[in-house]
């Protein structure tokens, strides 16, 4: 199971132990593949004795993992051409794991995963962590005959693009960004002098205030871009001009292109809307 995850780009795993009642009993973050393969055989006997679940959460810089949980046999068959691994976690209950490349922006990846889960009828609250194949699924409802988590199918190295998955008809349509109607954009209500005096937010400050990226090697530029866009929209700039300006100030936007800039701005606009503010379309 760990080797199959590795073939699609998994480099580290968060390891969690939970009791039969779902209580966390241990946690080892960011374990390498070698560390886990060395420790796993030693963990099995103790886990069985204590009725602890052994759970892993894979991480990768190469692909985004989407866990499709609580699939019945029909749902599983729909995603068979896309999954790199499928599991049976209890009789009649299945998981499918799909690796998706080409989603560099965290918000884009999160949105696509939601659409994929919706399109396949999978559990929308899936955590992205799974019990290790070969271990027992300790839940009260199964005692005393705890089912064994088992790999059903494995296709090492299978990584899909968003376009490929959409062509299979298993991805729900994107939800449009709703912009609240307004009698006029805030910008149009300002005098020409005020418009000329407008200043863009300080991108450097957003970058300096951003949390560390996943590898702890520097600021999370995606988060900085998102925060900068929210601020610009809040200050009265509309969506098109904010997207265009992001292409100028953000190195990541320059690298990933207009689609990244547009999506980041749209997601920021949706966040501003949720706060009850109005955003101009331009």
Pick from 171-180, 207-216, 273-282 the range whose average pLDDT is largest: 207-216
| Residue-level length of the chain | 282
Report long-range pairs for 74-78 (Cβ below 8 Å, ≥24 apart): 75/120, 75/121, 75/122, 76/152, 78/120, 78/170
Percentage of the chain surpassing pLDDT 90? 66
Residue 54 has pLDDT above 80, yes or no: yes
∠ CA 122-127-131 to the nearest 5 degrees?
Answer: 95
Residue 63 has pLDDT above 60, yes or no: yes
pLDDT of res. 83: 97
Backbone angles phi, psi at 210, to 5 degrees: -70, 150
Average pLDDT, the chain: 87
Cβ-in-10-Å burial (0-12, 13-18, 19+) of 38 comes to exposed
The closest alpha carbon to 104, from 60, 152, 136, belongs to 60
Q: Are the beta carbons of 115 and 172 closer than 8 angstroms?
A: yes
pLDDT of res. 5: 97
Report how far residue 55's alpha carbon sits from residue 171's, in angstroms, rounded to the nearest whole number: 27
Better pLDDT: 186 or 111: 111
pLDDT of res. 177: 52
Better pLDDT: 50 or 212: 50
- Is the pTM for the entire model greater than 0.85? no
Report how far residue 170's alpha carbon sits from residue 80's, in angstroms, rounded to the nearest whole number: 11
Handedness of CA 184, 189, 192, 198 (dihedral sign): negative
The full set of domains in the chain, from first to last, is 2-167 (3.30.70.1790), 187-274 (no CATH)
């Amino acid at each position: 199971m760990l080797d199959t995850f590795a073939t699609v780009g998994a480099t580290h795993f968060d390891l969690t132990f939970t009791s039969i009642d779902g209580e966390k009993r241990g946690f080892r973050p960011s374990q390498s593949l070698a560390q886990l393969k060395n420790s796993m055989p030693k963990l099995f006997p103790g886990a069985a004795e204590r009725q602890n679940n052994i759970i892993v959460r894979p991480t990768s810089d190469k692909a985004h993992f989407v866990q499709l949980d609580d699939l019945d046999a029909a749902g599983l068959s729909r995603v068979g051409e896309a999954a790199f691994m499928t599991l049976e976690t209890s009789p009649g209950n299945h998981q499918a794991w799909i690796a998706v490349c080409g989603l560099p922006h965290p918000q884009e990846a999160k949105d696509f995963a939601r659409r994929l889960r919706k399109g396949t009828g999978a559990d929308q609250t899936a955590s992205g962590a799974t019990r290790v194949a070969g271990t027992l699924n300790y839940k009260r409802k199964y005692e005393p005959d705890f089912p064994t988590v088992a790999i059903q199918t494995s296709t090492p190295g299978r990584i899909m693009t968003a376009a490929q998955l959409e062509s299979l008809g298993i991805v729900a349509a994107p939800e449009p960004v709703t912009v609240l109607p307004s009698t006029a954009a805030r910008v149009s209500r300002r005098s020409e002098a005020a418009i000329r005096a407008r200043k863009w937010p300080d991108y450097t400050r957003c970058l300096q205030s951003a949390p560390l990226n996943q590898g702890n090697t520097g600021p999370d530029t995606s988060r900085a871009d998102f925060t900068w866009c929210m601020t610009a929209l809040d200050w009265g700039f509309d969506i098109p001009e904010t997207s265009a300006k992001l292409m100028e100030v953000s190195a990541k936007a320059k690298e990933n292109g207009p689609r990244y800039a547009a999506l980041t701005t749209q997601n920021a606009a949706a966040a501003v809307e949720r706060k009850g503010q109005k955003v101009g379309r331009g």
